Structure 1
Amino acid sequence: MEGLAEKWVDRCVSRKPDPSIYKDYAGTAQVLIVSHKSQTTFTKTISAVKEEAQHYEYRDNTCTGECDFYKQIIWANLTEVGCAMKTCVTYVQRKVTPANVVVCVYKIAQRIDDMKPYEEGESCTKCPPQHRCVRNQCEEHLEQVESKNSAYTLPEF
């Protein structure tokens, strides 16, 4: 997913990829954030998405302000995520302006806009077999995961 995020952010465009045109993005969803603040960092940009939580009302699944990015990131069936950031040149009011573009690409089993992003209740009570609860999220048990980036086995905690 990180590779797909890097591939898209390298284009320096302010729109998300259309999976019907860009086939690599089929079965994914994306978050794209453009910031013109000079002191923006990756961490600050992603943290801003977390702040959208205050605008989300779980009970009736509505936003009182901007919260679409937040709803996408917390979606329960999100299975993989990768993000990338790049400083790009943009034109704002006929003036060349640097902008930080952050793209996150994630696999999601299902996303329907009128559905709630998760079920209310105690965390991790519906984790699938071979998963454990880590930071209130279901995580595949490390012994069951094949590492794509390393040749060693991680110790069990």
Structure 2
Amino acid sequence: MSEEPAGDPRSDAVMGGRLLALAHENGYSELTEEVAALVSNSGSDSASPPTPPLYGGVLRWTVSSIADVVVDKIGPQVHEGETFELTIRTESGRHVRPEELPQPESTVLRAVVDALAGDSVAVRSDLDEVVFTMDWASQMEALIEAVLWLDRLLDTPAPDGDDESW
């Protein structure tokens, strides 16, 4: 797989923060427009050099932020165990494992799990799959879902010490 040059981490965080603010304010049409612009600008068919690869950097920032929020809410014991399983609980209360999710959500969830495990090589490989092999619509869906997930996590209270299924 070709290696995407690293973007400016400040730009990635600024754009990620902007997308997060739009999600938090329920500005879904603006969020979609912003993500569409990022995806559209991530490649270049012209002879001029491509624009900085903001999409991949923003996706990486969002995934690492999700992992950071999980660790902040659950605590450092996330890293103490040999293994752990991350599942998503739907609004109806159903638990969904990563492999049950459709693409690209399953790849993004796998990247979060790898980030929690501290495996930055696997995280990059997971997200490179989105950035370099998925179509435009899947790239949009991956980033929008990740931003919405981060927004929901930030608003979710930390679990009680007795609740292991946060």
- TM-score bucket of the superposed structures, by smaller chain: under 0.3
Tell which structure's C-alpha radius of gyration is larger: 1
In terms of fraction of residues, the more helix-rich structure is 2
In terms of fraction of residues, the more strand-rich structure is 1
